[in-house]
Amino acid sequence: MDVPTTYYASYVSLAPQFGFYSYGGRDWNDPKWYRTTPGEFGARASRLYALLEAGHHGVCLSPADWARLTLWLDSCSLFYGVYEKEGGEAQLRGEVPLPTLE
């Protein structure tokens, strides 16, 4: 995570330990640096998914919640919903971030 960037406290406490945002690998010469391998990426590699699937503290997710969680993990556990500054600032204010389309 980029320290100077602003994130919600919930994201900071969840993503590094339970999200999926690193493919692994030592450097650009290691294929794991930039390639995905089935079962070693996203939701299937996430500790959070396994924890919730096992019924962590009785948590029961709806099919829609599972789909949302899986998508988030498979998308490298991104925080910001857009890449533009204005959308990111809107998200931090609790608004829905809308991407700029040209």
Q: What CA–CA distances, in Å, run from 24 to 38, 39, 41?
A: 14, 13, 10
Predicted confidence (pLDDT) at residue 36 exceeds the cutoff of 70: no
Residue range 93-98: average pLDDT? Answer: 87
Q: What per-residue confidence (pLDDT) applies to 20? A: 63
Report percent pLDDT > 90 for the chain.
8
For the ranges 14-18, 22-26, 42-46, the one whose mean pLDDT is highest: 42-46
pTM of the model: 0.60
* Residues 55/61, Cβ–Cβ less than 8 Å: no
* pLDDT tens for each residue of 74-83: 877 777 778 8
